[in-house]
């Protein structure tokens, strides 16, 4: 079903002031909600005329269940449910809803059984192949369009220059500002090529912090000069090249707001002053999720946070939990002309989102072929030489795997090669599969496995292939290995490509986009 939206000059005359305020709210929608919860959101949409929804997997997902006490229920019908809910919520709305989602590496970030593309850190390893990054942004956008989603809240342009960052890390293109900027621009161009909206985040830069803003307020103590030269560089340059929206993070940066250290999401100095006036951004500003504890715990009065976020300069209030009270506070406190200005920006964005667009057959490419190309271009020989790999095959080796993965095609195939060759217990080929991509709890690698791995590095000639977040190498003295090869993803295509590398059929073309700190043991 096609939903049409009136031009701004007509809409502004049709909507009452309170309805215009409602258009600034984007509460969360959950794919695995109960019927009662669905009806409650339908009522919210109809009663308060909210402008859009941001979809999440469930109320037990990482974005909502920060302490991890609720169990996430697997739902293989998530995509079907998503499409059904979008249609249902659209039908409940007086004015068409702007539908958004975090699809940084595809819908799979939130939805089971949908295409997953490589993480940004993997794309950051690719050299001089911006057409591939364009295709990733394009293909993710195609998947979004097919599902009924207008707005991909991506890409992340944070420069991840803190290896202990618990929340950005693999979501960043790396630690080099030029690489991050170029990858982001290419991704955005791909997104725009099929009529999907883009968003850069998390302004002014969430990379250099060891605090997760879902849980606490990160404090960044760098000078404004240092931030302008590095962290703010990708934002400034991406804005120049064209992006639909900027998401402001919950970050305390005293140097940017006259020493006050107010969270950026509620700082007019940072949003109105820095982002609007200094960086000349004219598009939509969206807050990071207002349910996050870094700010939500600061305002126990319902509606106060929503008002503060509006007053600071946010146009869209993402994951607002107190819509009714927030609308009332804005109505009581805001100048009508300011409401009109925000409404105009948001409505223009919706006009753009609902512009007719038909996917051509050529744009509906084969995802697997793209992933194969990304695997070829990203594989990184971090230490050692190809000669070491050749020696292993000549002398014989034993293959071991550590960690967990849904498939271990590299380890299985390499073990068969080892079985056919000479027996040599001193040469050990190790495939490391970190169970989790996030660094908490040592990526969920068992302590005894890390100890065994470290022992082998010291006592044997080890060639190590890593199929996961390369920051896992911070946990071991990886330089004790004869060679380390980073495969980044445990996708079958990446493992097959790594096996071709071990077999001497291809060379590694990628460059690690972050610095690994050698662990002191």
Active site residues: 214, 288
Distance CA 123, CA 157 (A): 13
Determine the straight-line distance between the first and last CA of the chain, rounded to whole angstroms. 61
Q: Containing H/E element for 466? A: strand 461-466
Distance CA 100, CA 388 (A): 48
- Inter-residue contact 389 to 483 (CB < 8 Å): yes
Q: Is the peptide bond before 202 cis (omega within 30 degrees of 0)?
A: yes
- Inter-residue contact 126 to 173 (CB < 8 Å): no
β partners of residue 318: 26
Chain-centroid distance of CA 495 in Å reads 23
Distance CA 204, CA 201 (A): 8
Q: Three-state SS across 117-172?
A: CCCHHHHHCCCCCHHHHHHHHHHHHHHHHHHCCCEECCCECCCCCCCCCCCCHHHC
Q: How far is CA 427 from CA 412, 483, 507, in A?
A: 17, 12, 21
Burial class (CB in 10 A: 0-12, 13-18, 19+), 280: exposed
C-alpha closest to that of 470 among 175, 170, 180, 173? 170
C-alpha closest to that of 472 among 428, 521, 516? 516
259 sits in the region (left: phi over 0; alpha: psi -120 to 50; else beta) called: left
- Inter-residue contact 268 to 276 (CB < 8 Å): no
Distance CA 227, CA 253 (A): 10
User: Residue 63 in 3-state DSSP?
Assistant: coil
How does strand 52-56 pair with strand 98-101? Answer: parallel
């Amino acid at each position: 079903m096609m939903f049409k939206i009136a031009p701004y000059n007509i809409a502004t005359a049709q909507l009452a002031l309170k309805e215009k305020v409602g258009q600034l709210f984007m509460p969360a929608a959950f794919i695995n909600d109960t019927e009662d919860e669905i009806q409650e959101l339908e009522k919210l949409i109809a009663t308060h005329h909210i402008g859009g929804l941001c979809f999440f997997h469930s109320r037990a997902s990482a974005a909502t269940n920060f302490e991890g006490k609720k169990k996430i229920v697997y739902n293989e019908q998530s995509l079907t449910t998503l499409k059904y809910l979008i249609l249902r919520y659209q039908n409940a709305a007086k004015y068409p809803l702007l539908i958004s989602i975090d699809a940084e590496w595809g819908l799979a970030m939130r939805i089971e059984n949908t295409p997953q593309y490589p993480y940004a850190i993997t794309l950051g390893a690719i050299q001089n192949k911006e057409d591939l990054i364009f295709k990733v942004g394009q293909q993710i956008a195609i998947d979004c369009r097919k599902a009924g989603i207008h707005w991909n809240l991506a890409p992340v342009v944070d420069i991840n220059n803190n290896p202990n960052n618990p929340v950005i890390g693999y979501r960043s293109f790396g630690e080099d500002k030029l690489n991050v900027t170029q990858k982001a621009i290419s991704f955005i161009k791909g997104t725009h090529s099929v009529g999907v909206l883009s968003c850069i985040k998390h302004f002014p830069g969430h990379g250099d912090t060891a605090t997760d803003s879902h849980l606490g307020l990160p404090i960044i103590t760098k000078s404004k000069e240092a931030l302008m030269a590095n962290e703010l560089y990708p934002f400034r340059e991406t804005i120049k090249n064209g992006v639909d929206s900027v998401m402001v993070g919950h970050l305390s940066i005293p140097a940017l707001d006259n020493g006050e250290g107010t969270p950026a999401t509620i700082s007019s100095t940072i949003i109105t002053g820095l982002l609007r006036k200094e960086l000349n951004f004219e598009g939509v500003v969206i807050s990071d999720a207002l349910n996050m504890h870094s700010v939500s715990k600061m305002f126990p009065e319902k509606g106060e946070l929503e008002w503060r976020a509006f007053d600071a300069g946010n146009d869209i209030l993402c994951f607002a939990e107190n819509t009714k009270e927030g609308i009332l506070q804005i109505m009581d406190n805001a100048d009508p002309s300011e409401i009109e200005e925000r409404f105009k920006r948001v409505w223009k964005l919706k006009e753009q989102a609902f512009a007719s667009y038909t996917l051509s057959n050529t744009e509906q490419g084969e995802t697997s072929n793209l992933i194969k190309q990304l695997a070829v271009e990203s594989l990184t020989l971090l230490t050692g030489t190809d000669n070491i790999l050749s020696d292993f095959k000549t002398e014989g080796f034993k293959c071991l795997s550590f960690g967990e993965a849904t498939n271990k095609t590299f380890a299985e195939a390499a073990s068969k090669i080892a079985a056919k060759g000479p027996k040599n217990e001193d040469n050990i080929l190790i495939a490391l599969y970190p169970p989790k991509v996030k660094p908490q709890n040592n990526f969920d690698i068992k302590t005894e496995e890390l100890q065994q791995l470290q022992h082998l590095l010291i006592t044997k000639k080890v060639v190590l292939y890593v199929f996961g977040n390369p920051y896992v190498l911070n946990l071991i003295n990886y330089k004790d290995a004869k060679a380390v090869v980073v495969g980044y993803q445990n996708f079958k295509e990446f493992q097959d490509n790594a096996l071709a590398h071990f077999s001497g059929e291809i060379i590694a073309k990628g460059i690690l986009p972050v610095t690994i700190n050698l662990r002191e043991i």
